[in-house]
Amino acid sequence: MSNLLEVSNVSKRFTMGGLFGRKTVDAVDDASLTLSAETPEIFTIIGESGSGKTTLARMILGLELPSSGEISFRGKTVSHRVGRQERLEFMANVQPVFQNPFEAFNPLKRIDRYLESTARRFLKLSQRDDLDGAMDGSLQKVGLSLAEVKGRYPHEMSGGQLQRAAIARALIPNPPLLVADEPVSMVDASLRMSIVNLLKSLRDDLGVSVIYITHDLATAYYISNRLIIMQRGRIVEMGDARTVLDNPEHPYSRLLKASVLSTEDAGDGKLATDPGMVTLAGELVGRPGRLVDRADGRMVRVYG
């Protein structure tokens, strides 16, 4: 079995501060995960703000270099500085989708020009018909069409349309892997499901693997095959999405699940989480522990 993506023992340490008083932050600590090349899946990274999920994604995209550890894509390492040509080859295979669709496009550039230059660059197309075909093809996959997008600037489209256009752009090179960093958190609730379903159909119909980064447990449960839960840079639980979310074992995972708002709780005027759970999960921050295998296939971090 060959691996599409292999992240092994990756850590990232940031140094903050200037002349006076330096401080280091371990944004990601000893993270490992593997995506298989044969079976496309949606792999979810869950965690609160500051848990290191975005840093991990940025390292997978090659935007940050790991302080230690190794990331390889189809056996080729991406965790060191690479030349422009290699960068392009990698980008043709791993495409990003960003959180805020309004920031994903240069406001001074037309969207079709973006799609066109992506097609030119990655598909090496130059004929007008071929370019239009490639653009329209990928727009169709996300439920848009070239006619709708042509000549329009980002501010002339809605957030949901823009996010689809961003995904269409990502799909132009036919990449086997998408890295989607909170792709629905800035989209209206009513459009959220259409984007999530889109990711699902990308996996099921087009065989694209997706690294889906979110803090939203409901959509994670709905579409992911496997997931990891991160707390302050450390993976605390990892495994099959249903197994983990149905019955989370690590205190932090349980806290996350308990914190999901339900209409019943809100109706009862009960919005605060059990303080005991919060302390229990909080105490584990910063303690190394180690990941152990469980009988149901999941891995959990245990301490002491």
Residues that bind another protein (CB under 8 A): 61-63, 84-85, 87-88, 91, 96, 98-100, 103-108, 110, 118, 121, 153, 155-156
Minimum distance of another protein from residue 248's CB (angstroms) = 31
Burial of 212 (0-12, 13-18, 19+ CB in 10 A): buried
**Token couple for 165:** 């256009």
Rounded to the nearest whole angstrom, what is the least distance from the CB of residue 115 to another protein in the complex?
Answer: 13
- The token pair at 196 is 């999530």
Q: How far is CA 33 from CA 198, 237, 238, 280, in A?
A: 24, 12, 9, 26
Backbone dihedral angles phi then psi of residue 145, each to the nearest 5 degrees: -140, 160
Q: From the CB of residue 14, how many other CB atoms can be counted at a distance below 10 Å?
A: 13
Q: How far is the CB of 240 from another protein (least distance, A)?
A: 31
Helix axes 111-123, 128-141, angle to 10 degrees: 110
Nearest approach, Cβ of 230 to another protein (angstroms)? 21
The distance of closest approach from Cβ of residue 125 to another protein in the complex, given in angstroms and rounded to an integer, is 16
103 or 246: CB nearest another protein: 103
Helix and strand totals (H; E) in the chain: 12, 12
Cβ closer to another protein: 107 or 276?
107
Nearer Cβ to another protein, position 7 or 235?
7
Q: Residue 160 or 239: which CB sits closer to another protein?
A: 160
Q: Is residue 229 a contact partner of residue 284, using CB atoms and an 8 Å limit? A: no
Q: Which is nearer to another protein, 128 or 155 (CB)?
A: 155
How near is the Cβ of 81 to another protein at its closest, in Å?
12
CB closer to another protein out of 110 and 294: 110
Count the neighbouring beta carbons within 10 Å of the beta carbon of residue 149. Answer: 23
